[in-house]
Amino acid sequence: ISTVGEEVISSIGRGLCVLIGIHKNDTQADIDFIVRKILNTRLFEDGNGKRWQLSVKDAGLEVLTVSQFTLYCDLKGNKPDYRHAMGGEAAQAFYEDFFTQLCRQYTSDKVKDGKFGAMMEVSILNDGPVTINIDSPKDL
C-alpha cells in the first residue's frame, strides 16, 4: 500500500513491491534489463509448494513500483548525499518510461505505482521474507 497523507495511491495483493532507484547514468538498456528481471525472476513457489519455481508473471501476481531515489544515497560524514541519483525531471521521465514498459510486458491492470516525488508511506508485508537487490550490469 502506498499513501500520500491520508490518500491511498495504490495497493496490491500478493506479488512484488519494487523500490526502484534511478542512477544518473541509467539508460534504456537498464530499463530493458530491470523490467525483464522483475517479471521473470523465479521468486514464488509452485502448486506443490516448491520454492523458487514461478515468476510474478508465471503466477499472475501483482507488482507495485515506487520510485526511491534514496537507494542511491552515500553518507558524506553523517549527511546523506544523493549525487549518484538521477535529477528530478529526468528521473521522472525515466520512471514513466520504465513503468510504461513494465505495463506493456505484463497485464497492465496488475501493475500499480506510487506518486513520483511525493512523501509517500509504503507499507510492505515481506512474505518469506525475501528481499532482493537487482542492479543492471554496468556494461550495458
Per-residue pLDDT reduced to its tens digit, 79-110: 999 999 999 999 999 999 999 999 999 999 99
Whether the CB-CB separation of 18 and 31 falls below 8 Å is answered with: no
Residue 70 is among the residues annotated as catalytic for this protein: yes
Structural domain span for residue 62 = 2-122
pLDDT tens, position by position, 4-35: 988 899 999 999 999 999 999 999 999 999 99
Q: Is residue 55 part of a domain?
A: yes
Q: Which of 27, 70, 100, 131 is catalytic?
A: 70
Question: pTM of the prediction?
Answer: 0.92
Task: Find the CATH number of the domain harbouring 97.
Answer: 3.50.80.10
- CB-side exposure of 60: number of CA atoms within 13 Å? 1
Flag whether 139 is in a domain: no
pLDDT at 117: 85
| Domain count along the chain | 1
Query: Would residue 127 count as lying in a domain?
Result: no
In percent, the amount of the chain with pLDDT more than 70 equals: 99
Give the E-state strand segments of the chain in sequence order. Answer: 2-4, 7-10, 15-20, 62-67, 74-76, 79-81, 111-113, 121-122
Q: Decide if 36 is inside a domain.
A: yes
Residue 21 lies in a domain: yes
